[in-house]
Chain A
Amino acid sequence: MIAELGLAALWLAAALAVLQLSCGALSVWSGADNEIAQLTRPAAILQGGLVGTAFGALLWVFGITDLSVKLVAMNSHTMKPLIFKLSGAWGNHEGSMLLWVTVMALAGALIAAVERRLPERTMQATLAAQGFVALGFYAFLLLSSNPFERLAQPAPEGLGLNPLLQDIGLALHPPTLYFGYVGLSVAFSFAVGALVTKQVTPAFARAMRPWILGAWTFLTLGIAAGSYWAYYELGWGGYWFWDPVENASLMPWLAATALLHSAGVLASRDALRVWTIMLGVVAFSMSMLGTFLVRSGILTSVHAFAVDPERGSFILFLLALYIGGALLLFALRAGSISEGERFSVASKEGALVVNNVMLSAILAVVLLGTLYPLLTEAFDIRVSVGPPYFNPVSAIFVFPMLAVMAVGPLLRWRRDNWGRISRELALTAALTIAAIGLLAVIFGMAVLPLLGLSFAFALGVASFLPLRGRKLTRVPLATWGMVIAHFGIAVSLFGMASESAFSEERLAALEEGQQTSVGPWQVRLDGVEPIAGPNWTALSGRLLAAYKGGEAVEIEPQSRNFWAPPQQTTESVLVTRWNGQLYAVMGGEGVDGRWQLRLWWKPFVTFIWYGGLLIALGGAFALVGRVRTDVKRRSAERRIAARRRDEEAML
């Protein structure tokens, strides 16, 4: 019953999306102010409620493990803990698509409810675009991926969820990424709306910006969570493999970062109009491209999704429709949108343009490297493009970008001279060079980690320079956001470079009672015993790990066997200190009764994700700051308008 309710809500929502699209389009076509236009916003708002209901229904059937629903029977199990039953609702294709449209419909409802500062015609076009995009996804769900499909006979027991996915990481990772993707869909709709009416103004950028900031913040969190999850769950200590699926989440982030900065230029200075529109389209294209790559199974990936070429065709069709359509519109329309204000190279805009070009170049490299195997396979040649390609090639663009990032925020808008900030420039350059020299002499490191550490130090200091000489309590929240996010990049970079340069690995085969060392740690194997969990059994090692001869901590890495579905996993244990992590993995038993252990000491590895959190925190600060300023600005405008009306009435 609940499942049917969910399905009915979805169908109704799809019908409302048709209404939203046609009312929006009609009112744009006939000039905005008429009765038809009055229907667009309520259609969007009601849709949000309906899809929310459908998602609630899905959570319900997963929560009670209703085995007459096919999706539950295929992906869940009565013996799973409740939290993983619920998170399992989006641990599969259909459920995750429903989560996607849920977030999308809620976002659509929110803009329909609150966004009133743009010209109504642009808003109608934007809402029509949003309805159009949503409609495609409803069709996808209802026609080829119905999450509420019933089985003729209820299954006696569910097939279970891949044990790697039975993890808190899964509970968080996909929703945050989807919030990001969907936020970009709103930016996309705004861009299309503005292309239709050709009203690309600072007000447009200000309306779009909170959505970009929100999307970007969530994407950052999603990528950080995903990478930490892979790090501790896959059991080999790697956190980024340049795998197609990982790249699929990185590409929208790169595009969103570029969009965020160019929208800032448009909002403050009315420049980079065409470029911002272009990025608005590209950012969402990258989200959809990612979805296509992940779900069509067209590329080999370690993060296997249940893939299906038929679904792949459907998503490709949607991609062709939306992205192809938007790019066609762009090609036809953008020529008549003027470029906007001009500026000199030594200016904040100048620095932001460099940043945008560099980000776009990195995006192009990642896109090329990810899709290239697809191209050669068309000619029956198989190649692999991996870390030895992506790391150095993207570095060509990353390091100049970091340099500009260190000094760009110090520049003034429109026109500035380098002399004014010469002291700061000299400080940053000196820090970088000193760090390069010192590190090269002391450690004799490889080039990339060396540059990474040096730039991290310099950027870490430089990111606070915009605050110099200012009264900290009066610095706008958005500026704090920028400072924190830039500092976060430095922190994350430091973690990556340190992990790459200083990690130590120890593979050991120990008898009970023997010990080994890795970095500053002494690790003793105290014993191994079998234990059982709710849906698994495990061999659990008891290790005593002591840092530099200090007191030992007891850790218990496990080698787990799940039985539904049957699969073996390693449960690694991480011992976190402020200066790094000990990573311990239990392997199998050797012939001679020794136990295989894999140990790593990874200095400052946690900084990678602390940095990610800081970046997201910066995004959140900027978001709150921007929204607050906007609200103030709007209420001020309303007061002025009211006073003017009063004055006119008096006259």
Chain B
Amino acid sequence: MSWRLWLPFLVFFAFLGLAAYQLTQPRDDVVKSAMIGEALPYFDLPPAVSEQPGVASADFSDGRPRLLNIWASWCLPCIAEAPQLEQLKEQGAEIVGIAIRDKPEDVARFLSQHGNPYARIGRDDLSEVQLGIGSSGVPETFVVDGSGRITYQHVGDIRPEQVPILLGELRKAER
């Protein structure tokens, strides 16, 4: 009988340990994509601005790894990461953009104000590609290898110190 009286205490103790552990952990609300290691789903997006081509999944299978940047002109952190994208481009990364729920004139204005690091920009008005690759917000940046496989996901805006990480991931995707 008496060991059973300890049961509530032990259950409570286990909860206490768990709660204390979780309190020390930084709160992480990021929903990571489950598509890392998977091939890009099929898509074929029209161009977001008239001067540049749109984006299709077929573009990713020419053997060259790329960055796939999910962004939007109405997203404030996207302004913050613009210089870092520029820097990545200067260091040889090819960046493909997908503009989420955006109008061509807003995209054009954004690019003229904050620079245009993109090789091509697709227009995704229904977040179809975003949902298709498991992205849950803007901005997010994916590394896609030469065969069209997603190898890495970066959630949120790219900070200056994170540029080398992404370059490293690109290099890894080359092999």
Please report A residues at the B interface, Cβ cutoff 8 Å. 278, 281-282, 285, 292, 296-298, 300, 309, 312-313, 316, 319-320, 323-324, 327-328, 330-331, 334-335, 371, 374-375, 377-378, 382
Contact = CB atoms under 8 A, between A and B. Distances in A.
Q: Which 7 residue pairs of A and B lie closest in terms of their CB atoms, listed nearest first? A: A327-B9, A331-B6, A331-B5, A335-B2, A331-B9, A334-B5, A327-B8
Contact of A316 (B2, B8, B9, B16): B16
A374 B31 contact: no
A445 B122 CA distance: 46
Nearest to B27: A297
Interface string B18-36: 1111110101010100000
B20, B23, B29: most-surrounded residue (chain A CB, <10 A): B23
Interface string B56-69: 00000000000000
B15 interface: yes
30 contacts: A281-B8, A282-B8, A285-B12, A292-B19, A296-B19, A298-B19, A298-B23, A300-B29, A309-B23, A309-B27, A313-B23, A316-B16, A316-B19, A323-B12, A324-B9, A324-B12, A330-B8, A330-B9, A331-B5, A331-B6, A331-B9, A334-B5, A335-B1, A371-B15, A374-B18, A374-B22, A375-B18, A378-B22, A378-B25, A382-B31
A339 B127 CA distance: 63
B43 interface: no
Contacts, number: 57
A312 B20 CA distance: 9
Contacts of A292: 19
A472 B32 CA distance: 64
A377 B22 CA distance: 8
B172 to A, nearest CB: 22
A401 to B, nearest CB: 22
Contacts of B13: 324
A377 B32 CA distance: 13
- Interface of chain B: mostly helix, strand, loop or mixed: helix
Interface of B: 1-2, 5-6, 8-9, 12-13, 15-16, 18-23, 25, 27, 29, 31
Given A324-B12, A371-B15, A316 B5 contact: no
A297 B29 CA distance: 11
A309 B21 CA distance: 12
B3 to A, nearest CB: 9
A590 B16 CA distance: 51
B1, B15, B21, B29: most-surrounded residue (chain A CB, <10 A): B15
Contacts of B19: 292, 296, 298, 316, 374
B105 to A, nearest CB: 16
Nearest to B7: A331
A245 to B, nearest CB: 16
Contacts of A324: 9, 12-13, 16
A352 to B, nearest CB: 21
A284 B29 CA distance: 30
A173 B22 CA distance: 29
Given A323-B12, A324-B12, A312 B5 contact: no
A298 to B, nearest CB: 5
Contacts of B18: 371, 374-375, 378
Contacts of B5: 330-331, 334-335
Contacts of A327: 8-9, 12
Contacts of B27: 297-298, 309
B1, B6, B22, B25: most-surrounded residue (chain A CB, <10 A): B22
A559 to B, nearest CB: 20
A289 to B, nearest CB: 8
B151 to A, nearest CB: 19
Nearest to B15: A371
B23 A319 contact: no
Nearest to B12: A327
A316 B23 contact: yes
A320 B13 CA distance: 8
A298 B22 CA distance: 7
B16 A320 contact: yes
Contacts of B1: 335
Nearest to A281: B8
A330 to B, nearest CB: 6
A297 B25 CA distance: 12
A110 B13 CA distance: 33
A309 B22 CA distance: 10
A296 to B, nearest CB: 6
A327 B15 CA distance: 13
B2 A278 contact: no
B100 to A, nearest CB: 18
B9 A328 contact: yes
Contacts of B29: 300
Nearest to B30: A382
Given A281-B8, A298-B19, A320-B16, 10 more contacts: A285-B12, A316-B23, A324-B13, A327-B9, A335-B1, A335-B2, A371-B15, A374-B18, A374-B19, A377-B25
Contacts of B8: 278, 281-282, 327, 330-331
Contacts of A313: 20, 23
Contact of B16 (A282, A319, A328, A382): A319
A328 B10 CA distance: 9
Contacts of B20: 313, 316
Contacts of B15: 371
Nearest to A289: B15
Given A282-B8, A331-B6, A334-B5, A296 B23 contact: yes
Nearest to A323: B12
B71 to A, nearest CB: 23
Nearest to B6: A331
A328 B11 CA distance: 12
Contacts of A371: 15, 18
A304 B70 CA distance: 28
A300 B31 CA distance: 12
A375 B14 CA distance: 10
A319 B19 CA distance: 11
Contacts of A319: 16
Nearest to B13: A324
B85 to A, nearest CB: 29
